Amino acid sequence: MDLLVDLQARGLVHDTTDIAALGARLAQGPIGLYIGFDPTADSLHVGHLVGQLFMRRFQLAGHRPFPLAGGATGMIGDPGGRSEERNLLDVETLRHNVGCIKAQLTKLLDFEPGPYQATLVNNADWTASITMLEFLRDVGKHFTVNQMTAKDSVRSRIESEHGISYTEFSYMLLQANDFRHLYEAHGVELQAGASDQWGNIVAGTELIRRRLGKQAFAMTHPLMLKSDGSKFGKSAGGSVWLDPARTSPYQFRQFWVQCDDQMIGTYTKMLSLRPVVEIEALLVQHEAAPEQRAAQRALADELTALVHGTKAAEHAAQAAAVLFGGDPTTASADVLAVVAGEAPSVDLPANIEGLRVHELLLAAGIAKSASEVNRLLGQSAVRAGNRVLDADGLLRASDLLSGGFLLLRKGKREFLVGKVSTTG
RNA sequence: GGGUCGGUGCCCGAGUGGCCAAAGGGAGUUGACUGUAAAUCAACCGGCACAGCCUACGUAGGUUCGAAUCCUGCCCGGCCCA
């Protein structure tokens, strides 16, 4: 299927420069494309997946992706989408972040040598050595302040009460120069990004046209939003990260399983690598029985496997089965160990017969006081395995599950895993 | 500086000597219902060795058998006057 048609069917095309020319160029053969990711944190989050998978789609269609870690642009800070100036990150943090992000950028793309090989680049490599005078003559000269202040990202900041520093004002020029550099060094003809990057991206196509007299292309995809219009990628605990140390594979998968019905179609089309026809069939099935969450599960499994590997994805799915509705007493020790990784845990004495549950829940921070535990017990809200504890909250030896695990549950959602400590 | 009104639990807000761990609402927790949703309904919602006790109504004292409630000093906020 034609790549552009496919992207449009997925709702991934927000804006492009000269789409007819781009279509013609893609038809001629492989193209290089790049998307930049600034190292504002030491991990990317789910919002970045659209861009990463955007490149993957191009790669699968035979093109060469150039994921870019913004070692240089990260030092400046993109003024877009903000009302205030960013705090500058120190060099050490930045270096650390770039390292982490680079590792994540290599996960979803194919770096095996070959015609479609992905190439990881860092704009610090060609930006750090440019002198101020060179930059002003070679880049700055090609832009008028009039054009620059006309861009949305800059104009909204000029109109805001905080204004915009000269530093962030310059961001656009750095990004434009990146595109120019990649065009010359690697034949990268297309820069993509989220729709809020449009101004910065076309600054690059303009620079290439003025300085090199060549045509380059810009293409943006829509920003992913939640059904209420708020920013995508936040869950109760904060951002959903790609780094398993920050967001476990289980939590990552749960984030997708719990997606809004209203948005799941949009998300699946934008993110899944499955063919659009297949996705549409899935969505028909989902609408017939939304309670099955077939679409959510499919997307959750696919993305978890992509980001964390198939093994981790399977474990996450099994852990979810235990935690939601499944019978924990029949779960294997292996699966319980995965569950244990997701819940707060406490050590248990060798014999738990007659042990009060109060201290365990308090130690894990699941209840704030013994009174609260008593209240919960009175409301039949505490279970060990699937046995509802009596008002006295005493455990029995038979509450232990395979592998010496104790699964305590407060209400439906909160869990505590106890493990009998073994000496040796 | 003078006058005046006020400071109540996570938030808002009633209470003006005992019936006050303190109305009502919001938030939160749990249960029912459910799709690991929304809405709805119900219970709970300071602590503990829990038929009892302790701590708490800005803060420090006082009056009283008994104080969130009365008195005094202090701190903080609103308004009015200077």
A230 DSSP assignment: P
User: Which pLDDT belongs to residue A297?
Assistant: 93
User: Which pLDDT belongs to residue A259?
Assistant: 86
Q: Which residues of A158-189 are buried (b: 16+ CB within 10 A; e: fewer)?
A: eeeeeebbeebbbbbbbbbbbbbbbbeeeebb
User: Which pLDDT belongs to residue A228?
Assistant: 64
Who among residues 87-116 of A has its Cβ near strand B, under 7 Å? Answer: none
A377 touches strand B (CB under 7 A): no
Q: What's the angle, vertex CA A346, arms to CA A341 and CA A352, rounded to 5?
A: 125
**Class in CATH terms, A3-221:** alpha beta
- Would you kindly state where each structural domain of chain A is located, as residue ranges? 3-221, 327-424
Q: What is the pLDDT of residues A154-201, one digit of tens each?
A: 888 888 878 889 999 999 999 999 999 999 999 999 999 999 899 999
* Protein CA A377 to sugar C1' B28 (Å): 18
**Closest nucleotide to residue A366 (Cα to C1')?**
B29
The pTM assigned to this predicted structure is 0.81
Q: A321: which residues sit within 8 A by CB, 6+ positions away?
A: none
For residue A211, what are its two tokens?
């300085």
Is pLDDT above 60 for A349? yes
* Protein CA A317 to sugar C1' B38 (Å): 25
CATH architecture group of domain A327-424? Roll (3.10)
* Lookup result for tokens 């990881």: A120
A369 touches strand B (CB under 7 A): yes
- Strand B: which bases are under 7 Å from protein Cβ? 29-31, 34-37, 43-50
Q: What residue type is A81 in one-letter code? A: G
Residue A46 and residue A242 in contact, taking contact as beta carbons nearer than 8 Å: yes
**Closest nucleotide to residue A388 (Cα to C1')?**
B31
* Protein CA A390 to sugar C1' B48 (Å): 20
* Lookup result for tokens 């150039």: A66
**CA–CA distance, A328 with A30 (Å, rounded to integer):** 52
- Strand (E) or helix (H) holding A15: strand A15-16
Q: What is the mean pLDDT of residues A346-368?
A: 89
For residue A25, what are its two tokens?
């160029």
Distance in angstroms between the alpha carbons of the first and the last residue of chain A: 60
